[in-house]
Structure 1
């Protein structure tokens, strides 16, 4: 490899000298930064807010951690917000290792540790509540990191992210960390509107390539054979699985008949082990399902660890749970839980004790656990990457009904696959069943990005908080700053442009369709009237005297308009029909514009 030229060395030195704090921060890491990480840090050092949109596992948090470093250098505070308590707890531990207990605090619904610290990790709602309460903690705040900011699309909690971004003082620099979304530039434009100078940094490069698979029966097949083309073997198997089976009546119906024997969960884990796909996260969208999967693996005698790993697992369990009273072991299922961990098997969900979850997370990060059956909360940024990710179903309960997994959720879940610096590739594995269509799986797997849509909808509670904190007028105006309103306004601009284009086209058509013999507009007015009356005539049935009389009245009006047309000078124009087509086209555009105007009116309010 050739050494850099003097000019290249000079350019590199100049770049380092222009951002000395980034250079100092980068020196504390054993690896070099990617371009998007460097760029994000540079913008932050330049005093700007920044939106980082990159795939899961790409290293977005480097820029968030740089904000904590800058707060130390600049003598102000940094708040690091996350969507869930588990992620807050993990980030708190990470930052304590960097800065020590005295410099880092934690605020969640369950915990309050060192809340006056220079760096405070918190769930997003905690910061929103601080803003509404007029907390003094915000006075010396210099930076806010909003991890998983794409969560603002969440139907139930997304508005909290927007409330913070709208109401935090503009002097505070924001680091927004997002998954790859297709409209990151639009989101960045909104951030500039509500926050001031904000730079958008994008990266679509996964540090570890991800390969998509489907498990059909006992076979693991590649989902794609070429770029975007579904494996024909999968299509053949699906086609052959459609059998003629008896319906509820004497007739026969075509239905998907489960002629392929599905593997049990323990058998699937063994299959993953045979293929070298472990360690893996196995997503099951229910707590009971996760616990049941662990129990079935234990019943089948599955063990994935060697004697040295078992010994280390026992040591970590003892260290993490030493404060747990032994008399509580029975009611908490401690012995069964510990036995499963020793075998390299665990469940991870919101129903676990915090110390149980922390133990599982540490063991998995160290490679001592081989399979974790988890609910989707594990996909929300918790640092538990695996070699493979398994999705049992592509349908989940969203709190109101069973819905299909969205492209965004699929990307988030499978983004855990592939450990940077450890794996050369990651694997996403979908379990086939008779209700599933491979085309749906292919659609999810091939959708690399998805649009970020605001879920912002003002509630009574939000309105009351805004009025109480900011007064009626500012509260009303602030609601107009939402991302939902911004997206609606941008759409209005597009509608207005189309209406303007239509108006120009209408004018051109009418001017180009005139006749030298008379007023073509007057002539066409009569033709349009006849068309309208004929439509009324054909849509009415004669069932009574009054209706018959009305029918006769319509016939009389039509006859009158036809006489008017016959006597009109434009009736004898040689270009009459071509001119008429121009007016008819203009009329269609006028109708279209009326619809666009109605849509505009519907979009001007959230």
Structure 2
């Protein structure tokens, strides 16, 4: 145990801050040879536990695979580990890149590891740890099953480190992990290291979402009465305009004057000292349009010195591309916006441009980033403030309201640990805005993790080919979905057993020497059923007689 503790001490010395208690407990579990599930808020430092698994694997002479849900996060972790451990010890496997795949540390997307398991890849030899970052992604309808497949199919000798956002059923998920993986500790941390304050921006004004009233009768999550009054006034205006419109008058869109423009948002954040900030816009085109609006309004958030540093860094990173390529990619316009301190960030951007934005934002040179929600998936770009453009998005089938889990994931980027004393989450006003609905999203501290596992033909064929029919069936029955379904019937099953036991007790209580009471009750039931049947038949006969008599009276 002394050697393992010294490994932890050497790892802790890599950081210039003391580790939190939940981080220490998770690392101790790994050092003792157990798997671990860490459920903690975004920005709380749960990734450090995954980094300890990497460190432990190297100390033990084994391998560690670090899996992420998106390529951008894989690229970032690859860069971080390369700086710490050296390029010869770190590899990257994504759909776009294959670098040093036989290294002891390999960062990859989860689908790559799933494919390795099905193919029986030799790269799995010597694997000691697998870190599954953002493991709550298994609830995703389109890709979530991949996480469960990996967890189920990994060799028993591999310790799994599951890093999740705070979910209300973490213990249930931890029990499933212990069932399919063996010893597994569940560690839940609900405290945010940086307090988060919620706001709503109406026009050019910034309102607190929650009331600051205190006292014995004050509700902890009561909506700010001033904001509620704005909502009521807007509702009355819409009703009035609807009434005039129904009488043939021109009906302008109500509430539009309260919707802040994106340039208004940036100006207000800058004036309130709430930059750097990330505004989440659920479309790539919307992110790019927001940057163009800032350029058109001649917004400038940087000093002359900062502009020089931005240009020098961007030109260095873009030097790998030819002049003609840069022109086609819109490099001059991108660089101009970057020098102003604003940029977009989405999957449609060239990786070199995205990485440049990430580095400059982390360095505090880029002040405002308009991003799609992929930025909320663990990429290390914490901000002082987070702005949510709309509370609905396209989910692949229709426009739907974002869930409490998605809201928590997005706003979790706000508040930089060790830099900010508080973080700020801001929702923009929209027509028919309902403060109570937003308060419900913001006050839902945790949300349940639900499996999206659905066996597919491809999955079944791969399993049968690899392990045979019976074993394949056992593996499919080991899913978190089946685990949750089995638990759902435990309560009713126990009630049935309880009722059967009670019935047996009644049988013993009513037994006597004069005869079998149950046989008597059965005869009474049969007699009652027969009497009811005869009564029903008589009523039918009388009805038939009445109909026949009426038919005779017809002329």
Give TM-score scaled by structure 1 length: 0.82
**Equivalent pair of 1:242/1:255 in contact (CA under 8 Å):** no
Choose between structure 1 and 2 for higher RCO, CA contacts under 8 A separated by at least 6 residues: 2
Q: Aligned partners of 1:354, 1:457: CA distance in 2, in Å?
A: 33
Residues 529, 447 of structure 1: alpha-carbon distance in 2 compared, 3 angstrom cutoff: farther
Residues 512, 216 of structure 1: alpha-carbon distance in 2 compared, 3 angstrom cutoff: farther
Q: Which residue of 1 aligns with 2:230?
A: 237
Residue 319 (structure 2) pairs with residue 326 (structure 1): no
Q: Could you tell me how far 1:500 is from its partner in structure 2? A: 2.7
Q: Which residue of 2 aligns with 1:186?
A: 172
Q: Could you tell me how far 1:526 is from its partner in structure 2? A: 7.0
Residue 96 (structure 2) pairs with residue 110 (structure 1): yes
**Which residue, 110, 135, 146 being the options, matches 1:149?**
135
**Which residue, 65, 81, 84 being the options, matches 1:98?**
84
Q: Aligned partners of 2:55, 2:330: CA distance in 1, in Å?
A: 42
| Superposed counterparts of 1:473-552, under 5 Å | 473-503=470-500, 552=540
Unaligned 5+ segments in structure 2 are 213-219, 545-555
CA RMSD of aligned residues (A): 2.8
Residues 217, 45 of structure 1: alpha-carbon distance in 2 compared, 3 angstrom cutoff: same
Q: Could you tell me how far 1:303 is from its partner in structure 2? A: 0.6
**Which residue, 233, 242, 246 being the options, matches 1:246?**
242
Q: Could you tell me how far 1:330 is from its partner in structure 2? A: 2.2
Q: Aligned partners of 2:295, 2:234: CA distance in 1, in Å?
A: 32
Q: Aligned partners of 1:238, 1:352: CA distance in 2, in Å?
A: 38
Q: Aligned partners of 2:347, 2:542: CA distance in 1, in Å?
A: 71
Q: Could you tell me how far 1:509 is from its partner in structure 2? A: 8.4
**Which residue, 395, 398, 422 being the options, matches 2:395?**
398
Q: Could you tell me how far 1:261 is from its partner in structure 2? A: 3.0
Q: Aligned partners of 1:22, 1:334: CA distance in 2, in Å?
A: 45
Residues 439, 532 of structure 1: alpha-carbon distance in 2 compared, 3 angstrom cutoff: farther
Q: Could you tell me how far 1:466 is from its partner in structure 2? A: 1.3
Residue aligned with 1:278, SS: coil
Q: Aligned partners of 2:529, 2:405: CA distance in 1, in Å?
A: 50
Q: Which residue of 1 aligns with 2:305?
A: 308
Residues 310, 523 of structure 1: alpha-carbon distance in 2 compared, 3 angstrom cutoff: same
Residues 20, 238 of structure 1: alpha-carbon distance in 2 compared, 3 angstrom cutoff: same
**Equivalent pair of 2:314/2:356 in contact (CA under 8 Å):** yes
Q: Which residue of 1 aligns with 2:46?
A: 60
Q: Could you tell me how far 1:16 is from its partner in structure 2? A: 7.8
**Equivalent pair of 2:260/2:429 in contact (CA under 8 Å):** no
Q: Could you tell me how far 1:502 is from its partner in structure 2? A: 4.0
**Equivalent pair of 2:392/2:401 in contact (CA under 8 Å):** yes
Q: Deviations over 1:364-387 (max 9, x none)?
A: 001111110000000000000000
Greater Cα shift, 21-30 or 170-179: 21-30
Q: Could you tell me how far 1:18 is from its partner in structure 2? A: 7.1
Unaligned 5+ segments in structure 1 are 1-14, 538-548, 557-606
Residue 147 (structure 2) pairs with residue 161 (structure 1): yes
Give TM-score scaled by structure 2 length: 0.89
Residues 502, 352 of structure 1: alpha-carbon distance in 2 compared, 3 angstrom cutoff: same
Q: Aligned partners of 2:211, 2:332: CA distance in 1, in Å?
A: 46
